[in-house]
Amino acid sequence: MKLLLLLLPHLLPTPTDTSLSEDELIACVSSKTTNWTAEITSDPNLPFDKLKSLNPELDFSFTKDKISVLFHRNLTVPKSFDARDKWPECTNVISRIRHQGKCLSSWAVAPASVFSDRICTGTKGSTKVHISANDIMSCCEECILYNDRPCEGGLAYLAWSYLYKYGAVTGGELDSKEGCQPYSDAFFRGEETPCSEFCENLIYGSTFSRDKYFPGFVYLVPAEEKQIQMEIFDDGPVMAVMVVYEDIMTYRRGVYEHVCGEKMGYMAVKILGWGVENEIKYWLLANSWGPEWGDSGFFKIVRGENHCNIEKEIRAGRIIGINARQEFVRSNPAFDADTTSGGKKLWDRVSLLPFYLVCLKFYGLIV
């Protein structure tokens, strides 16, 4: 990891002249597909310039951390699904479109958004909060890729690790005065904000330490269409990491598939459902480029083909553990067995939950 950080200044080139203009992208998309519509996005506060500066060969979408993979036994799913319909009490939370501004912060924004949804669905709507991406971005030092600059990109899988170990406070959008640490103006501009263990919102009625929320279990979902569907159907939205091409900057509506432009890098997004449109299977996703981009901040992408690696790296967290009757866990097959970690990490202990419960019942500690 340290070697990667040392090399990153040389691996992150400045934008090249090969990038297409928005007009060129729109013309290209219009000539190659009728499945989705391209338009110019009017919002000037988007991270496109930073995306174009990334080295597209750096693949941060597939990780080898020691984390449990959750499998579902029942794979019966409906033809179409929207998490907001199953959990109407959580619609306002799940529907929230965040705006990362000119900062490459989807690596923190998407986990914060998904965990917010999971808190609501896991409590059947009794707890509705918006977890702060600000907390993760400013305080998760191991998550940040480039020279202590969170707006230059980060590792979403380590953001989930941070949530599990340290939790995160609440925080709404820029200027929202919502929660302990709303999204900062500096981050929105693409600059840095120092780590703070205080509530930046002075009118918020809680302290930093009391406002922390922790997932009880964080995990990978198998890179299989029905496993992903079952996970969303049972527990709510999940996080995905996808390849970003230039043409997605112009997406307005329809089922997206890459047809024009160069690869720019990766971003984390939220999958909240699926369906079929014009006989094309799709995932329904929320981006964090604000409500003026795409279909009011949402978009659809081809489902079942791992298009843009959308099904390769799926993660989520729960406020509780597993349902042993319907689910089981295994270790991450990508993890290198020659680790020096010295034992199981905390999240792996969830795989022993059924054993612990049997022991407690045997000794009369639970009934």
pLDDT in tens, the chain (367 residues): 433 433 333 333 333 445 788 899 999 999 999 999 999 888 888 888 777 766 555 555 556 677 889 999 888 899 999 999 999 999 999 999 999 999 999 999 999 999 999 999 999 999 999 999 999 999 999 998 877 889 988 999 999 999 999 999 999 999 888 999 999 999 999 998 899 999 999 899 899 999 999 999 999 999 999 999 999 999 999 999 999 999 999 999 999 999 999 999 899 999 999 999 999 999 999 999 999 999 999 999 999 999 999 999 999 999 876 677 777 888 776 654 332 222 223 333 344 444 434 443 444 444 3
Residue 205 included in any domain = yes
Residue 290 included in any domain = yes
Q: How many domains does the chain have?
A: 1
CA distances 339 to 290, 336, 342, Å, are 40, 6, 8
Model confidence, pTM: 0.85
- Is there a contact between 81 and 232 (Cβ–Cβ < 8 Å)? yes
Residue 21 included in any domain = no
Residue 367 included in any domain = no
Q: Which two tokens stand for residue 321?
A: 């553990």
Residue 22 included in any domain = no
How would you label 153-187 residue by residue, b for 16+ Cβ within 10 Å and e otherwise?
bbbbbbbbbbbbeebbbbbbbbeeebbbbbbbebb
pLDDT of residue 257: 97
Provide the CATH number for the domain around residue 304: 3.90.70.10
10 Å CB burial of residue 116 (0-12, 13-18, 19+) is buried
Strands (E), 148-250: 217-221, 238-245
Identify the sign of the CA torsion 266, 272, 275, 277: negative
Q: Which two tokens stand for residue 61?
A: 């979408």
Write the pLDDT tens digit of every residue in 2-48: 334 333 333 333 334 457 888 999 999 999 999 999 998 888 888 88
Domain containing residue 10: 2-15+32-362
Residue 179 included in any domain = yes
Residue 99 included in any domain = yes
Write the pLDDT tens digit of every residue in 110-168: 999 999 999 999 999 999 999 999 999 999 999 988 778 899 889 999 999 999 999 99
pLDDT of residue 360: 38
Strand partners, 101: none
10 Å CB burial of residue 234 (0-12, 13-18, 19+) is middle
Residue 180 included in any domain = yes
Q: How many residues does the chain have?
A: 367
Task: Characterize the bridge pairing of strands 251-256 and 298-302.
Answer: parallel
